[in-house]
Amino acid sequence: MAILSLAWQSLRNRRSTASLTVISIALSVTLLVGVERLRTEARASFANTLSGTDLIVGARSGPVQLLLYTVFRIGDATNNMSWQSYQDIIAHPRVAWSVPISLGDSHRGFRVLGTTSDYFDRYRYARDRQLAVAEGQRFADLYDAVIGAEVAEQLGYRLDDSIVIAHGASDVSFARHDDKPFRVAGILARTGTPVDRTVHVSLEAIEAIHVDWQSGAPMPGISISAEQARTMDLTPKVITGALVGLKSKVATFQVQRFVNEYPQEPLSAILPGVALSQLWDLIGIAENALLIVSIFVVVVGLFGMLTALLTSLNERRREMAILRSVGARPGHVFALIMGEAGFLTLLGALLGLSLLYILLLTGQPLIESRFGIFIAIGGLSGHELILLGAVVSAGFLVGSIPSYRAYRLSLADGLSVRV
């Protein structure tokens, strides 16, 4: 205890240098543990981009490709599936619900998704959270559109604004459905998912804007007005895919096999969780890069402490000699410097954790609303404890270098320091 008290008094006499060292370590710990927490929660949020859906069904393709265009609106489907095939699948006794999806159109760089009103009830994200309409309502009229939060923000749309959908991904004049404009009926609350960048319309609306189109182009000499389209049979002939929920998780592989072996046309049924994990393995290398950067920041902070302690040794050689002259053993001098290094490291780690939790408490709502990443504010995970233990151990290891130098200083060397 006497050594600890002496170490405390020594640090108090060098409070400015000690404070800067503690702050450096604290910021390093905050960054290291914060990046690890963000990395873990980002992966969990990514895995929950789509939750509550047991299967995604579409034309025969790879799991990642099917996931990309049905959930993330990236790329295009290899083919469509017929409406009849969709009806056969949802008629399966194990299927509890389904939501059809039709893609292929766009609006000023944002994808347009045709679906039913059930989409807003069945689509789940971020640990089973439901979509919410921030303004307006769901589409009720044939030419109503419900837009995502980012679409509204970037394009400055408000309720009742008029929008024109373009055929395909390119919003060029000859591909626009100018004769059938849509009205913004609702704006969804921000989710941090691809929903924010999507324009939602009904399946019937997708059919209506294409009644006088064929093979991706207007039919020559035929023009059907928006009002005329209302009177026509707008039952879809094909869709891009479907989200499917089952009555029991046990039936997942049974229904998946039924879809994959469907005789009428080649189809695929994938498990969203498995496909999301595969996709994360492809793009998740960035999380390792972040962790490596934060580790280097910790190393820099510890080297700062090492520099401060080594620099102070030259100024304290007479102090060490006096301690030796009044009976302190070399081991006491070693323990004194180690005590200072350990105290600085522990105090920096505790301060860093405190700063991290303050940042989490203040920034959690903003991160969730803007990026859709829910960061849990709880105790440290096992991996975080290992990282923290590694930082503290590294602090003691770094502290052993100046401690060993102080241990080796002789009494005569300390008393004969030239000034």
Split the chain (419 residues) into runs of 10 and give each run's mean pLDDT. 59 72 85 83 76 92 90 85 95 95 92 94 85 93 95 94 86 74 94 91 94 78 87 93 93 94 94 84 71 79 74 63 63 72 85 90 76 73 85 83 67 47
pLDDT value of residue 146: 97
Residues 104 and 74 in one domain: yes
The Cα–Cα gap between 308 and 17 comes to 7
Q: Is residue 277 part of a domain?
A: no
Residues 112 and 242 in one domain: yes
Q: Is residue 316 part of a domain?
A: yes
> pTM for this one?
0.73
Residues 198 and 299 in one domain: no
The Cα–Cα gap between 293 and 277 comes to 24
pLDDT value of residue 50: 83
- Of 241, 270, 299, the last residue of a domain is 270
What is residue 373's three-state secondary structure?
A: coil
**How long, in residues, is the chain?**
419
Residues 246 and 366 in one domain: no
Q: Is residue 297 part of a domain?
A: yes
The Cα–Cα gap between 346 and 348 comes to 5
Q: Is residue 368 part of a domain?
A: yes
Residues 62 and 209 in one domain: yes
Q: How many domains does the chain have?
A: 2
Domain enclosing residue 140, as ranges: 55-270
Based on the number of CB atoms within 10 Å of its own CB, is 151 exposed (0-12), middle (13-18) or buried (19 or more)?
A: buried
Three-state SS across the chain?
Answer: CHHHHHHHHHHHHCHHHHHHHHHHHHHHHHHHHHHHHHHHHHHHHHHCCCECCCEEEEECCCHHHHHHHHCCCCCCCCCCEEHHHHHHHHCCCCEEEEEEEEEEEEECCEEEEEECCCHHHHCEECCCEECCEEEECCCCCCCEEEECHHHHHHHCCCCCCEECCEECCCCCHHHECCCCCEEEEEEECCCCCHHHHEEEEEHHHHHHHCCCEECCEECCCCCCCHHHHHCCCCCCCEECEEEEEECCHHHHHHHHHHHHCCCCCCEEEECHHHHHHHHHHHHCHHHHHHHHHHHHHHHHHHHHHHHHHHHHHHHCHHHHHHHHHCCCCHHHHHHHHHHHHHHHHHHHHHHHHHHHHHHHHHHHHHHHHHHCCCCCCCCCCHHHHHHHHHHHHHHHHHHHHHHHHHHHCCHHHHHCCCC
Q: Is residue 411 part of a domain?
A: yes
Residues 166 and 78 in one domain: yes
H/E element, 239: strand 238-239
Residues 167 and 243 in one domain: yes
- Of 219, 246, 270, the last residue of a domain is 270
Q: Is residue 319 part of a domain?
A: yes
Other CB atoms within 10 A of residue 156 CB: 8
Residues 21 and 81 in one domain: no
Residues 292 and 361 in one domain: yes
- Of 237, 270, 303, the last residue of a domain is 270
Instruction: Kindly give the pairing relationship between strand 144-147 and strand 182-188.
Output: parallel
The Cα–Cα gap between 297 and 288 comes to 14
Residues 298 and 393 in one domain: yes
pLDDT value of residue 363: 82
Other CB atoms within 10 A of residue 301 CB: 28
Residues 92 and 180 in one domain: yes
| Residue 178, CA distances (Å) to 7, 154, 161, 163, 396 in order | 79, 21, 14, 9, 71
pLDDT value of residue 142: 95
pLDDT value of residue 412: 46
Q: Is residue 276 part of a domain?
A: no
Alpha carbons within 13 A on the beta-carbon side of 12? 6
Q: Is residue 275 part of a domain?
A: no
Residues 76 and 198 in one domain: yes
pLDDT value of residue 143: 96
pLDDT value of residue 60: 92
Other CB atoms within 10 A of residue 25 CB: 27
Cross-strand pairs, 267: 59
